[in-house]
Amino acid sequence: MSLKSERRGIHVDQSELLCKKGCGYYGNPAWQGFCSKCWREEYHKARQKQIQEDWELAERLQREEEEAFASSQSSQGAQSLTFSKFEEKKTNEKTRKVTTVKKFFSASSRVGSKKAEIQEAKAPSPSINRQTSIETDRVSKEFIEFLKTFHKTGQEIYKQTKLFLEAMHYKRDLSIEEQSECTQDFYQTVAERMQTRGKVPPERVEKIMDQIEKYIMTRLYKYVFCPETTDDEKKDLAIQKRIRALHWVTPQMLCVPVNEEIPEVSDMVVKAITDIIEMDSKRVPRDKLACITKCSKHIFNAIKVTKNEPASADDFLPTLIYIVLKGNPPRLQSNIQYITRFCNPSRLMTGEDGYYFTNLCCAVAFIEKLDAQSLNLSQEDFDRYMSGQTSPRKQESENWSPDACLGVKQMYKNLDLLSQLNERQERIMNEAKKLEKDLIDWTDGIAREVQDIVEKYPLEIKPPNQSLAAIDSENVENDKLPPPLQPQVYAG
C-alpha cells in the first residue's frame, strides 16, 4: 500500500486552508471557509437580501389584502379609513425594520460619534459596577497600568472600551452572532482610530488590541461563552461521544509519524495533550489560541525528533488528529466557537496562531466525518469497531514496523489477553450455569424419591406401653425382712 493511498482522507492541501474568496487570509470551517472579513461581508449581503425579500413579501401581501378588502366593502369611506390604518401600519413596520438593520450594521454600533459616546457614558451600568472577581480585578489593574504609558491615546482607548462594555450590558438579549458582530466592529473601529488619528505604529496597535481583548473578554466571558441560547453544549457532547467511539483508532491507521517509544517524543506527546486540554481553562481567546499554538509546536518537535528531519504539513495534520482523539479536550466545540466569535480577527486571518487554529478546525471536521475509507478499512470492520463488538487484531511481532511505539505494542498485547480472558470467562459462566441446573435436577430427584418412600411406607405412631411394676412388688413377705444394716463407726 503506497503512502499516498494511506493518507487518503487526511491530507489537506495548504491552499485549502485559505479563504475561499482568494483574499490570501486563512479561512475557517465555522465561517464556511471564508476569513473573518469576507464572512462578515457575505453575512451582511445575506442579511440585506433577506430583509429585501421580507419587504417584497410584505408589500405583496399588502396588495392582496387591499384588493380583497376593496372587493368586500361597498362604502368608500370605510375603505379610505381602513387603507389609512393599513398604510400607517406598513410605515411603522418598515421603520422598525430599517432601525433594526441600522442597529446591527451601521457605524453607530461601532461606538461612533462623540454625542453617542456622551449618551452612553451617562447610562448606568450594573455590569461595570458589580463586584468583580479576583482575576477580573487583576486584569483591570493591568489594563489601566498598560494604558498609562500611552498618555492621551491610552485615555481615549480606556474610555471607548468602557463605553463598549456598558453597551454590551444592554445587548445581552441579542443573539450570540449579533454580539459577536458588535465585538468585531469594536475591534475594527479601535484599530482604525489608533492608526489614523493616533498614528500608532502597527506593531504597537497589535499589542494594544491584545490588551483590549484580554480586558473586555475577561469581563464578558461568563455571558458569551457557551450561552444557553446556542447549541454549543449539544455539539460538545456530540464530539465527545464521537471521540470516545473512536478510541480504537491507532496511529498506524492515521499514518502518524511519531514514535512514542522514544522517551523524548513521548514527553512531547503528553505535553501536547496537556496544552490542548488546558485550552478550556483560559478565558481570553488569545490565551486559548496560545494553548493551541504550544500544542502544535510540541507536535512539530515530536515529528522532528522521530524522523530526524523537519516536519511537513502533511505530517502535522494527522498527528494533530491523533492528539485530539487521545486527549478528547473538554468543551471542544464551545472553545472553537468562542475563539471564532470573539477573537481579534487579525490573529485568525494571519500568523501562526491563525494557521494552527485553522488546522484544529480541520482536524475536528475530519473526526466528525471520519469513515471506513478514511482509515483504509472495510465498512464491515469499521462498523464492528465503532459498535465495540471487537477491536483491531493484534499484529504479529515480526510484522511490527520499526517506528511502532512500545505503548501500541503493549496495547495490542493487553487486548489479546483480554480477549482470552473473555473467552475463559464465557466458558466458566456456561459451566456454572450447567452445574446450577444439575444441582436443581438432583435436588428435585431426591425430593421425589423421598416422597415415593413416604407414600409406600406410611409412618404409624403407636401409643406408649404401661410402665412395668417392680420385680418384688407382689412379694408380701417383704414386710417381715429385717431393716437394712446401718454403717457403724468405731473409734480406734
Residue-level pLDDT at 33: 67
Please give the average per-residue pLDDT across 224-250, as a whole number: 93
pLDDT at res. 332: 96
pLDDT at 72: 65
Average pLDDT of the chain to the nearest whole number: 79
Quick one: pLDDT at residue 177? 92
Neighbours of 146 (CB within 10 A): 19
pLDDT band at 20 (very low <50, low <70, confident <90, very high): low
Nearest CA-CA partner of 232 in 141, 382, 145, 339: 339
Give the tens place of pLDDT for each residue, 331-384: 999 999 999 999 998 888 888 999 999 999 999 999 999 999 988 888 988 998
Task: Please determine, for residue 454, whether its predicted confidence score (pLDDT) is greater than 80.
Answer: yes
pLDDT, greater one: 61 or 434: 434
For residue 286, give the nearest of 222, 208, 228 by alpha carbon. Answer: 208
- Summarize pLDDT for 149-162 with one digit per residue, the tens: 888 888 899 999 99
> What's the CA gap between 138 and 215, in Å, rounded?
10
pLDDT of 439 > 70? The answer is yes
Alpha helices by DSSP H, listed for 73-124, are 76-105, 114-122
The reported pLDDT for the residue numbered 117 is 41
pLDDT average, residue stretch 238-255? 92
What pLDDT score does 40 carry?
65
pLDDT exceeds 70 at position 205: yes
Q: Which of 103-117, 142-156, 247-261, 423-437 has the lowest mean pLDDT?
A: 103-117
Determine if residue 270 is left, alpha or beta; phi over 0 gives left, psi from -120 to 50 gives alpha, anything else beta: alpha
pLDDT at 180 over 80: yes
When pLDDT is averaged across residues 425-449 and rounded to a whole number, the result is 92
The pLDDT of 15-41, averaged and rounded, is 66
In the chain, the amino acid numbered 116 is: A
Q: Convert the pLDDT of each residue in 160-179 to its tens digit.
A: 999 999 999 999 899 999 99
Per-residue model confidence as pLDDT tens digits over 111-148 = 444 444 434 434 444 443 444 478 888 999 999 999 98
> Residue 55: is its pLDDT beyond 60?
yes
Strand positions, DSSP E, 363-428: none
Q: Which residue has the higher pLDDT, 216 or 98?
A: 216
pLDDT above 80: residue 28: no
For residue 186, name the pLDDT band (cuts at 50, 70, 90). Answer: very high
Q: Provide the pLDDT for residue 1.
A: 37
Least confident range of 37-41, 80-84, 125-129, 304-308: 125-129
Who wins on pLDDT, 366 or 104? 366
Mean pLDDT, to the nearest integer, of 478-484?
68
pLDDT higher than threshold 50 for residue 296: yes
Cβ partners under 8 Å of residue 147, min gap 6? 154, 155, 157, 158, 211
Residues 195-212, mean pLDDT to the nearest whole number: 88
Q: What's residue 128's pLDDT? A: 39
The candidate with the shortest Cα–Cα distance to 217, out of 157, 146, 159, 288, is 288
Of 235 and 348, the one with more pLDDT: 235
In the predicted model, what is the mean pLDDT of residues 456-469?
73
Torsion of CA 28, 11, 249, 255, to 10 degrees: -140
- Mean of the pLDDT values across residues 283-303? 95
pLDDT at position 354 is 92
More confident residue, 479 or 192: 192
- Band (67; pLDDT cuts 50, 70, 90): confident
For the segment 181-207, the average pLDDT, to the nearest whole number, is 89
